[in-house]
Amino acid sequence: MKTTIIAAIMALSSTLSMAQYREGFDYRVDRFADIEVMRYQVPGFEQLSLQQKTYIYYLTEAALYGRDILFDQNCKYNLLVRQTLELIYTNYKGNREDPEFKALELYLKQVWFGNGIHHHYSTDKFVPQFSKKFFNKQLDKLDDEQLPAGYKMKKKALKQVLEPVIFDPAYLAKRVNQADGEDLVVTSACNMYEGVTQAEVEAYYSRLKKPSDTTPVMWGLNTRVTKHDGRVVEEPYMVDGRYSAAISKIVQYLTKARAFAENDGQRAYIDKLIEFYRTGELKAFDEYSILWVEETAGDVDFINGFIEVYGDPLGMTGSWEGMVNFRNSEASRRSALITANAQYFESNSPVDDRFKKEEVRGVSAKVITAAILAGDSYPSTPIGINLPNSNWIRAQHGSKSVSLENITDAYDGAAAGNGFNEEFAYSDTEVQMMRRHLTIADKLHTDLHECLGHASGKLLPGVDKNALKAYGSTLEEGRADLFALYYLADPKLVELGIFTDPDTYKAEYYKYIMNGLMTQLTRIEPGKDIEESHMRNRKFISEWVLEHGKADNVIELVKRDGKTFVKINDYVKLRNLFGRLLAEVQRIKSTGDYETGRQLVEAYGVKVDPVLHAEVLERYAKLNIAPYKGFVNPVYTLVRDDNDIIVDVKIAYNEDYISQMLRYSRDYSPLTHQ
Ligand code: ZN
């Protein structure tokens, strides 16, 4: 599971520990459409040992080789579109200021950012602003030999395939469709299913799942489901299977990295991961996950595989993701304090005792410094990650929970002074409160959400972990958020010395409600519903506490000069409401109460008030802030001496967005160069 950021609201006077960071660092890289691209620093990299740096270097190579897999998982035409656009873009001889060319460049930037033709967040298809005529004319100028594999000398066929893919808004309109009551498989443009219906997929997996199995594998995690000779079958992603060329490269660089691992535990989980990539066996992936979660001694760690399931409308297949990181020792002390007290938080929560874990096990948490972002984490990046996702492994072996502090600090650095809170907060009191407390309160929210929230609670015996179906992700994120919100106001945090000011939590409460009721609407187009699970969870929580606090006037929506503001009148009662809702959402999860869960999300988390929405969009537009942010990676280079011995790994922050994307497509693209 992952936590994403509400980037625009991180506009704070900075309380960063700037000592670790380079002064005058330029965070801003590019700005287009609804996107801002930034760069992040990797403080502490230079101080690592040569062995650790070399280990990280090869792991970053293994991470970058997965990029094409995600493109193809997101839609079967993505690689073809990207490759064709890049050919046109790099071979273009005309005026690069021509509006049609600029529009093609914009579209290509969007395709890179979305890892395909759909928006990374809304999953809606991008609408190109250049004409069909311009596109076809540029295609005509390419040599037949240059065309993508499978289309060499066949320009006409290529045009026929790409025309609806790029220019018909109704075709492949949505990557992940979550609309209640529709066939989610047929209507989603993602490439995890081909030629099968939702009913066929569900019937297929219900034959495989055994309710009595207490250690089930993650069915469908690494496969595409399709039909052969009328029978539903899975095509595994593996060496000699689907995506073999990319996975072979990943295995090659994991093998190189292995030689520089810090300890036997890391070598053991790398071996198991390679076995999984070679065999496609889900059991090997579970064994890998257990080895991975139990290795906590090393400083360097990584994610490399089919991990999060948000890209699959049925929530089964993992999108390929890579990330390499190392421990931020100083900041890790904060989350260690939280997890050392995990049992206190579990035992004292407002949840019914039947749904609590008697013993919270192995919740490890640390603050990390990201060294590379790849696949599903790139360019848009989570700020917190809690893995593995397998429920029984989490229950029996614990989970690893990390906060990416150099990423949140980059958000802060880039957002300082953008005027957002001044526009949307009720008064200067709230603005000052957020300025003073929000950096630490946000970090604690992430820690509590990831380290404890997702790890808390249990299912009653016999309850299927997928019982909440399409509402599962939203309710799970809501549960983790509620756990975090409830405990942010707990005196324990002051007692532990994490908060020095007992009112710190109010900054997070205010931001959360303001975002859930209003400002997150900046991410939604007029007339659309809320669909993304994290947004739905923030919305249903905020709307629910607004309504259930009405009698006590806990929260008001106040009008002033034609503008709407959130006014929180009673923070203590608000905390109690969070506690009540936490108990209810935990009950829904623990008992698999699909119908109540569905009603909760549909009643509070989906529909948007069009008048308020229009107002928020108008106020936001005046600030000219990009609602979505992402990152370019630093560039790592091996330094060798005259005898070809590695003597150092250099890190550089000088690559721009276009150069990085073109370089990745040139150097890390085994699936298009076949
Ligand atoms: Zn989460």
pLDDT tens-digit readout, 427-456: 999 999 998 899 889 889 988 998 899 989
Quote the pLDDT of residue 359.
87
Given a cut of 50, is residue 595 above it in pLDDT? yes
Distance 200 CA to ligand 1 centre (A): 30
The residue-averaged pLDDT of 233-242 equals 98
- Label residue 218 by pLDDT band (50, 70, 90): very high
Surrounding residues of ion ligand 1, Cβ less than 5 A: 1, 3, 477, 480
Q: How far is the CA of 1 from the centre of ligand 1 (A)?
A: 5
Average pLDDT (43-72) is 97
Say whether 117 sits in a helix, a strand or coil. Answer: coil
For residue 4, the CA-to-ligand 1 centroid distance in Å is 8
Ligand 1 centroid to residue 252 C-alpha, Å: 32
- Single pTM value for the model: 0.79
Contacts of 56 (CB under 8 A, 6+ apart): 45, 48, 300, 324, 326, 371, 372, 636, 649
Q: Is the pLDDT of residue 11 over 70?
A: no
* Percentage of the chain modeled with pLDDT above 70: 96
Q: Mean of the pLDDT values across residues 661-669?
A: 97
Centre of ligand 1 to C-alpha 402, Å, is 11
Spatial separation of the C-alpha atoms in residues 626 and 412, rounded to whole Å:
14
Comparing 255 with 4, the larger pLDDT belongs to: 255
User: What is residue 17's predicted lDDT score, i.e. its pLDDT?
Assistant: 40
Query: Which pLDDT score is estimated for 361?
Result: 60
The DSSP symbol for 110 reads H
Q: What is the C-alpha to C-alpha distance for residues 155 and 143, in angstroms, rounded to an integer?
A: 9
Is the pLDDT at 8 greater than 50, yes or no?
Answer: no
**Mode of pairing for the β-strands spanning 555-560 and 628-632:** unpaired
Q: What is the reported pLDDT for 440?
A: 87
Among the ranges given (353-362, 429-438, 507-516), the one the predictor scored with the smallest mean pLDDT: 353-362
Instruction: Give, as one character, the DSSP assignment of residue 148.
Output: P
- What does the pLDDT read at residue 336? 84
Task: Say if residue 561 is exposed, middle or buried (CB neighbours under 10 Å; 0-12, 13-18, 19+).
Answer: exposed
**249, 239 in Cβ contact below 8 A?**
no
Q: What pLDDT shows up at residue 20?
A: 62
CA of 446 from ligand 1 middle (Å) equals: 9
> Strand, coil or helix: what is 215?
coil
Report the pLDDT value the prediction gives residue 439, as an integer from 0 to 100: 83
**C-alpha of residue 560 to centroid of ligand 1, in Å:** 35
177 in Cβ contact with 213 (< 8 Å) = no
CA dist., res. 344 & res. 269, Å (int):
32
Neighbours of 349 (CB within 10 A): 23
What are the residues whose beta carbons fall under 8 Å from the beta carbon of 604, sequence distance 6 or more? 539, 540, 541, 543, 544, 547
What's the average model confidence in pLDDT over 656-666? 98
CA distance linking residue 183 with residue 106, whole number of Å: 33
Q: Which pLDDT score, from 0 to 100, does residue 26 have?
A: 85
What is the distance between the alpha carbons of residues 300 and 281, in angstroms, rounded to a whole number? Answer: 26
Instruction: Give the single-character DSSP code of 338.
Output: H
**Mean pLDDT confidence for 290-298:** 95
Residue 380 C-alpha to ligand 1 middle, in angstroms? 16
> Three-state SS across 246-264?
HHHHHHHHHHHHHCCCCCH
CA 46 to ligand 1 centroid distance, Å: 31
- Mean of the pLDDT values across residues 331-342? 85
For residue 450, report the distance from its CA to the centre of ligand 1, in Å.
6
Classify 226 as helix, strand or coil.
Answer: strand
C-alpha 637 to ligand 1 mean position (Å):
34
Is residue 232 a contact partner of residue 201, using CB atoms and an 8 Å limit?
Answer: yes
CA dihedral 189, 194, 196, 197 (to 10 degrees): -10
The pLDDT tens digits of the residues spanning 546-568 come to 999 999 999 999 999 999 999 99
Residue 388 Cα to ligand 1 midpoint, Å, equals 12
Residue identified by tokens 């979505």 is 628
Which structure tokens are listed for 56?
Answer: 């990280």
Task: Tell how far the Cα of 537 is from the centroid of ligand 1, in angstroms.
Answer: 10
pLDDT per position as a tens digit, 374-423: 999 999 999 889 899 999 999 899 888 888 989 988 887 777 668 899 99
CB 311 within 8 A of CB 190: yes
Written as one string, the DSSP assignment of 360-397 is ---EEEEEEEEEEEEETTSSS--SEEEE---HHHHHHH
For 154-193, b where at least 16 C-beta lie within 10 A, e where not — what string? eeeebbebbeebbeeeeebebbbbbeeeeebbbbbbbbbb
Q: For residue 564, how many C-alpha atoms fall within 13 Å in the half-sphere facing its CB? A: 18
Per-residue pLDDT, 12: 33
Q: Cβ(82)–Cβ(166) under 8 Å?
A: no
Supply the pLDDT for residue 609: 96
Q: Which has more confidence, 430 or 7?
A: 430
What value does the mean pLDDT of the chain take? 93
The span from the CA of 208 to the CA of 533, in Å, is: 27
- Residue 102: phi and psi, rounded to 5, are -60, -40
Instruction: Calculate the dihedral angle through the C-alpha atoms of 225, 2, 628, 25, rounding to the nearest 10 degrees.
Output: -130
- Whole-number Å distance, alpha carbon 155 to ligand 1 midpoint, is 45
Cα distance between residue 487 and residue 575, in whole Å:
9
pLDDT tens-digit series, residues 108-155: 999 999 999 999 999 999 999 999 999 999 999 999 999 999 999 999
Which tokens is 111 given?
């395709």
Question: What pLDDT, on a 0 to 100 scale, did the predictor assign at position 310?
Answer: 94
- Say how many Å lie between the CA of residue 161 and the centre of ligand 1: 38
pLDDT, tens digit (0-9, with 9 covering 90-100), for 240-251: 999 999 999 999
**Distance from the CA of 527 to the center of ligand 1, in angstroms?**
27
- CA of 298 from ligand 1 middle (Å) equals 24
Q: Return the closest-CA partner of residue 574 out of 523, 516, 623.
A: 516
| Alpha carbon distance 35, 17 (integer Å) | 27
Closest among 363, 314, 386, 352 to 460, alpha carbons compared: 352
